[in-house]
Chains A and B, each alone.
Chain A
Amino acid sequence: MSSETDDVPVADTEYQHDEDGGPDPEKHHGHGRGGMGEEVKRKEDKRFITGRGNYVDDIKKPGMLHCEIVRSPHAHARIENIDTSRAMDVDGVVAVLTAEDLAAHELATMPTLMDDTQDVLVNDKVKFQSQEVAAVIATDRYIAKDGAEKVDVDYEVLDPVVTAEEALEADAPLIRDELEDQEDNHIFDWDVGDKEATDRVFEEADVTVEEQMEYQRLHPAPIETCGCVADWDPGKDKITVHLTSQAPHAHRTLFSQVSGIPEHKVRIVSPDIGGGFGNKVPIYPGYVVAAAASVVLEQPVKWMEERSENIQTTGFARDYDMTGELAATEDGIIKGVRTDVLANHGAYNAVAQPSKFPAGFFNIFTGSYDIEAAYGSLTAAFTNTAPGGVAYRCSFRVTEAVYLIERMVKVLAQELDMDPAEIRRRNFIQPEQFPYESPTGWNYDSGDYEKALDLALDMADYDHYREEQQRRIEEDADKLIGIGISSFTEVVGAGPGKSCDIAGIEMFDSADIRVNPTGNAVLRVGVQTQGQGHETTFAQIVAEELGMDVENISVEHGDTDTDPYGLGTYGSRSTPVAGAATAVAARKVRDKAKTIAANELEAAEEDIEWDRESGHFHVAGAPDRSITITEIAASAYMHHPSSEEPGLEAVNYYDPPEMTYPFGSYIVVVEIDRETGEVDFEKFVAVDDCGNRINPMVIEGQIHGGLAQGIGTAMMEHVTYDENGNCTGGDFMNYLLPTANEIPNFETGYTVTPSPHHPIGAKGVGESPTVGSPPAIVNAVVDAMAHAGTTHVEMR
């Protein structure tokens, strides 16, 4: 098979769909075969809607045992003794594991994604409430829980440290006393940008503004919690783990490294996944315990979290305490931005980010604006809270960055008494400036920010609401109106591999297309859908590129024994990376198909043309002499040209040359009850630009879901702790998620600014709404009260 993987793919101009940009969801593109731009119904929905999904907890194996984890009630405590005898006496309890047992198999600790070392089961000292202390393996899950209640643990309770601020105080108790050279709770300092230049801009500025804001700790809270079924086969010396995994291959490598089982003897299967949102990127102790137990007991072992275990112990998101500053001229030209962040990383440094980015992509905090100077600094601290820092429906801290800059622009607008739409317009990076290099080193691919904003203003009836707002203030009405804008820019689609890696593995992705003799095809990808609709949209890419009917393409993913290696789905990277790999692989198939077509049509290969509209190959100048992909597929297996290998397939491993930069403008109008402070959404407009659109309906679905999560973020979600480190926001009675009742009617629109470097001109989109909407909501709430002098209101 020829290798073209090193070639940087060039955007195929045929995909530069007309930039009509209107908010018309009825608009169809495409050729009627379910290719690019068509609203193909999701292939995966049949099984989900009819209750035939197959999730990890649906996996049942003969002789399967169940694992329940004993968790610490304390946030900070030394374990003095663990007595497992009463638990072992429970009928049906097969084994009770402690750190000591794991140590005997060299499994006492595991690496985090940031190269820290986390106890699988606590050895010596508990560092956060609900940390894993022991594991009970039993014949059913009820008995396992009965047994867990009977594991007697003596704790010496220690003073906990809950906030990052406390953690960095000189006399704070030392959390990580097991680490050599660790004398305090400080993890790292990080900074970016030109401090001197930025300071100078601030000194010389007409106006400066500053605001303190918290991005509270959130939990991705996927509807399916984390879990696995580990099944060691002593006959093959091979372990199969059905895992709630967003990144099956990366997890296979990590599993192999942690367990010492060679990688070809580890099979990870990620079946249907009930939402991930970044929560299913890390490895968790429960997985390791279940796998160890299966190896030792030679029986399958299932571990499935309860809801509160999921919220209290697995990867949280955000928890950034931020100061933002802007320097500007009197007419609102932003000259500089400065930010300082205090980050709570919990008990271990377990953030899930490319390893060279300890603060993720937070350094995109200059946003959609052309700002002369920028400087950011950050300090991260250990606390006695659960570890995490996952990219919850965002590309590695972009959410925090967007919140910072979009809030600050509003603060500045208020200070200058300027319209927040106008101030944005004056500072936007202009279309002709792309590719644009930002002062913190990003290379934006394409954008037209003003166009998206103008469309959103129009859809939102902006001027009307501004007048209405004024009227209500003047009439002292019971309900105030507030209008919030967010004109965000995302950075998604990690790699390139040279700068982005997970635990050392470059962040490429892959696609493998095999066309069958009867003309249909199977596409295998290295990414893993958790609701994004890959089985549909990736099939559409193949349909487009090969002139096939989308019905004839199935997409497989999530099985490391059969799928090509990939880094998984998070950070909106699937379409930018695996989608690109799919297009490139499809084009390779098309190239070979062309050779076969020439052979069949008895023409020279140079004379064969492919017609995107009909999907047929024909002889140049003689459209009647044509052949379909179905006929070519048959030829590939039944009478292939002697110059070629038989078969029709191709693989591509795609290392993106750059990331993609989707953007949009959201406008939120709220009504606030003056007496109670209750907030009602009066209007919610979201204009997104994700480049060329594969399936408008899937995009719309992604936007709706993400906006709902943005509302949860801004209005109610918060993992809270009390001063003793008890997680008081650790279940759905206390960690509030919005329901359909809290979600207003969304009005969505779009513009199309293709990515110049992506083979089909597409950008990621799944996370834009979660990233873009919180500041729009907060800006609206602040805006409603701005006449009373309010400049900031915290979320939640």
Chain B
Amino acid sequence: MKAANFEHHEPTSVSKAVSLLESLDEPTILSGGQSLVPMLRFRLARPDTVVDINGIDELDYLHEEDGYLRIGALARHADVADSEVIEARYGSFADTAPLVADPQIRNRGTIVGSIAQADPKGDWGSVLIAHDGEVVARGPDGERTVPVDELFLLPYDTSLDEDELITEARVPVPVEREGSAYHKLKRKTGDYAMAGVAARLIFDDDGRIEDAGIGMTAVDITNARASDAEERLEGERPDPELFAEAGELAAEQSNPESDEHGDASYKERMVEVLAQRALGDAAERAGVIERRAAP
């Protein structure tokens, strides 16, 4: 890697990081480096100063607290993959972690960095959408939370300011009769999604869908919510036809582009398929439908 010159800062606390971000001219935050370093290598990113947050131990956590699953800025993809809390209750997170990039990248890359990167092909944004998640940001004016629907603006662009540090991403702790899943189509390990769909379903005690969340990967300019499909699902009982209809609605709402790996119509069709599969898994994990037969 032959990056252009930059100044490297290594704060050891959030408050030091925030004051550095405030005082430096156009600083760039470095967490896992799995998106930033490739950009430095191609010199697509040419920051003068880099604020490396890897030494801030207080950001290294992944746990449930006060009704949220809280993901600290230094929680790595691999931490999610290895977590017992995740495995027991967060189907979509457990599905996603081993599908992000490859093992080496998962050891370094962070969930928060991935969300800050706002790559429409990133997986975690869709999971956050499905779970109605939010991020917590610290800046010179203190702390604020930003709901995921207000976060992604454009590819690689969020509504955060340059001097704001995301300290945490979080989603509500699952309730009873809740299930979630993520399905991703990719060419190979280490490749981004051609298409991906995260789904979360909460059922009422009557077995009807009370709340549905669907996030889509790589089929729009940002991670996108399949709101039409969500609406169609709410108030209904789960069955394959309903999920098929929801899949169609999600596909209609997606806006994929053709590329070397597939044309737009194929990707739309894949949104439909992946949404059906994710919804099926979510319903199953919520315990409201039987385990489906293996293919």
Contacts and interface: CB of A to CB of B under 8 A. Distances in A.
Given A477-B295, A716-B187, A736-B191, A676 B270 contact: yes
Given A142-B5, A149-B43, A676-B270, A739 B189 contact: yes
6 contacts: A68-B2, A142-B2, A145-B43, A678-B185, A716-B188, A737-B188
Contacts of B7: none
A742 B188 contact: yes
B203 to A, nearest CB: 26
Interface residues of B, number: 17
Contacts of B188: 715-716, 736-739, 741-742
Interface string A470-483: 00000001110000
A716 B260 CA distance: 10
A716 B262 CA distance: 12
A675 B4 CA distance: 46
B273 interface: yes
Contacts of A478: 295
B2 A736 contact: no
A741 B43 contact: no
Given A478-B295, A479-B295, 5 more contacts: A477-B295, A734-B260, A736-B187, A736-B188, A741-B188
B235 interface: no
Closest 3 CB pairs of A and B: A478-B295, A741-B189, A145-B2
Contacts of B38: 733
Nearest to B272: A675
A720 B102 contact: no
Most buried by A among B3, B102, B189: B189
A720 B260 contact: yes
Given A676-B185, A736-B188, A739-B188, A728 B260 contact: yes
Chain A interface helix/strand/loop/mixed: loop
A42 interface: no
B46 to A, nearest CB: 10
B254 to A, nearest CB: 15
Interface in B147-199: 185, 187-191
Nearest to A68: B2
A395 to B, nearest CB: 28
A741 to B, nearest CB: 4
A68 B190 CA distance: 29
Interface in B30-55: 38, 43
B273 A739 contact: no
A141 interface: yes
Interface string A372-406: 00000000000000000000000000000000000
A359 B189 CA distance: 35
Interface string A705-727: 00000000001101010000000
B260 A729 contact: yes
Interface string A578-601: 000000000000000000000000
Interface in A434-480: 477-479
Interface in A308-344: none
Contacts of B191: 736
A159 interface: no
Contacts of A741: 102, 188-189
B144 to A, nearest CB: 34
A146 interface: yes
A478 B5 CA distance: 54
A739 B190 contact: yes
Contacts of B185: 676, 678
Contacts of A742: 188-189
Contacts of A149: 43
Nearest to B277: A675
A675 B247 CA distance: 13
A90 to B, nearest CB: 11
Contacts of A716: 187-188
Given A720-B260, A729-B260, A739 B102 contact: yes
Contacts of B260: 718, 720, 728-729, 734
A223 to B, nearest CB: 14
Contacts of A718: 260
Contacts of B189: 739, 741-742
Interface in B76-112: 102
B45 to A, nearest CB: 14
Interface in B221-275: 260, 270, 273
